[in-house]
Structure 1
């Protein structure tokens, strides 16, 4: 990965928060990146990896953090923020996975939850109530796809990069198990669960800022009952990254929840 391309990426992050909307750096980024993108070859620790110095990581963290504060729907900036600030939390999560037999198998086999790895036809034929069928129903009803999860780029450890990728790809599975919708209240509740479960600074930021976007009645629900439940469940639950969900598609969802009692839907 060339130094020019790294600098262009950092400039792009800062250009994304520029109030002027158009600047010399943005024009340079768009023109230069289009020229070089066709000849980029990755020589990092994993496909797509971009090696960065501590200073570059700090710049990316600041820029992406400001962008995420301005617009929480900038998922690309949220992803960069998570990757550049999450080393300690990712290390702790990796260690928890290593200490769990099923989690160790996940780390060893590195399954991915993508459209290319899911047999949607088989999942659609599973009986109602099975975990795979309920997950597919969640995707269909909310018009979401597992391919929307960005690939990790800025984590300078191949195993920790997979842990971050796993965190992203099980997010919709948590929605399914917790019975949380994808509206703002549901997303904030899952983010509170994830913040308590993972310790990722990105999750803590989302948990802190998400309530600001709720109306008064939903904020009261979050603060008085839903939020405390999510925090308690996240703290007490087994590491959700350690579950080999790909081997559980045919399992009854309620049976899986009995194995993971902290992932019972709110109110049950």
Structure 2
């Protein structure tokens, strides 16, 4: 093991020890309790705006929080079913530029999980810091599950080799909808498909939709994967382990 990797692992152990406390502090700082009426009004408003403008990430996030309780319970149960998922729930790691050493990921060999994720961020001009903190989920454990989903969404894209185009987004949303059962993923998959251009729609119907459904139903539960422990794993091995067939 080289010196740089030993230092990185040491930092990771320290970060892991404080990750849970950091999440709980952030959650307490941002959490907003809603009355039943406020929740209904916020759900209706965020749904209307999200359908009118699918690029309003803040409204989509809000809709996910106000409608996702049952789905989050399902996700939490799925994560608790595996040792890897249990570690995530216990340690509550975060994915942002203060917890993920992007320069290290960029130095990993091509074809590894970490390098693939770093290349995805660069190619699509996105940052792990773009994800907002959960506000409207009252249960702390479920709030973390939603936060984790939000922060690994781009990792899903990278692992599935899907760009941030509308076609790529809809394809990933179908997989997320089938695995997480989050209402916002279901509506995003259905209504996002209606916005595809004719050529994209044909690709979607012929290739992307069947692939997404097959992956969503047959792959392992992707939200329960501790990606931070797998940066050096090859994407080929990861796909084999997760039962994912590449579309591209």
Q: Which of 211, 216, 226 is the aligned partner of 1:229?
A: 211
CA-CA distance at 1:129 after TM superposition: 1.5
**1:252 Cα deviation (Å)?**
1.3
Measured in 2, the distance between the counterparts of 1:203 and 1:174 equals 13
d(CA) in 1 for partners of 2:101, 2:109: 15
Mapping 1:166-205, distance limit 5 Å: 166-205=148-187
**TM-score for the superposition, normalised by structure 1:** 0.80
> Cα deviations across residues 166-213 of structure 1 (Å, max 9, x unaligned)?
111111111111111111111111111111111100011101111121
Instruction: Tell me how large the CA RMSD over aligned residues is.
Output: 1.7
3-state SS of paired residue (2:28): coil
- Asked which structure has the greater CA Rg, the reply is 1
Take 2:102 and 2:51, find their aligned partners in 1: how far apart are those partners? Answer: 36
The aligned counterpart of 2:247 is: 266
Per the alignment, residue 146 of structure 2 pairs with: 164
**Structure 2 segments unaligned to the other structure (5+ residues):** 1-24
| 1:61-140 paired onto structure 2 within 5 Å | 61-140=43-122
Which 4+ runs in 1 deviate beyond 2 A?
A: 43-47
Deviations 1:94-139 (A, max 9, x none): 0110111100010000011101111122212211221111110110
Find the residue that maps to 1:213 and give its secondary structure. Answer: coil
TM-score by length of structure 2 reads: 0.87
Residues 197-233 of structure 1: CA distance to partner in whole angstroms, max 9, x if unpaired? Answer: 1110001110111112111121122123211210221
- When residues 242 and 77 of structure 1 are mapped into structure 2, their CA distance, relative to the original with a 3 A threshold, is same
